[in-house]
Amino acid sequence: MNNTKVNQAYEVAIFAGGCFWCMVSPFDILDGIKEVKSGYIGGHKENPTYKDVKSQTSGHYEAVKIVYDPSVISYDKLLQAFWRQVDPTDEGGQFQDRGESYRTAIFYTTEEQKQKAQASKKQMDESKRFADPIVTPILEATTFYDAEEYHQDFYKKSPIEYKEDRKISGRDEFIKKYWGEEYYDIYD
């Protein structure tokens, strides 16, 4: 079962950027987004659970599947939003979350997405925004498994826990250091 296809009017983008709790809200607030799901992709176990993924034995990434209307928001803009959420130079996880399930990746669902992701990664690397090279891989999307219901829209369901987790993660400090006010350009 491959659930990377949706209504023909919409398209799907899949990004891994560490803890999926922190990857939902930055996309959810963009115009043209129909749905953002937390889930698992890229591993070897069918129907993984959070426990399987967190144990770092299933090979999956924590990721978000974004259903969007390409007549309202482009894949290029989603890529810009993705790069602003992550440390693309870190192979060992993201911020306080360490291990293979917290690595970054762009999962493409079409050849056009692959080409755009590769161009975007090259541009990011050549910008020298980061001293170290960009290590975020661009991978073909495999089956995306929705995470358990309590993980969906976590920032809305458990705002206090979400804010605390995000605060101690170091993500926001990193974003401020490397993006500053430019971070908000995509939200205009």
Phi and psi at residue 52, in whole multiples of 5°?
-60, -45
**Is 19 assigned a catalytic role?**
yes
Question: Domains, the chain, ranges and CATH?
Answer: 11-187 (3.30.1060.10)
Q: Per the residue annotation, which of 14, 16, 19, 79 is the catalytic one?
A: 19
Phi and psi at residue 180, in whole multiples of 5°?
55, -140
Phi and psi at residue 152, in whole multiples of 5°?
-70, 130
Residue 113 pLDDT grade (very low, low, confident, very high; cuts 50, 70, 90): very high
Residue 185 pLDDT grade (very low, low, confident, very high; cuts 50, 70, 90): confident
pLDDT at residue 149 in the model = 95
pLDDT at residue 187 in the model = 79
Share of the chain above pLDDT 70, in %: 96
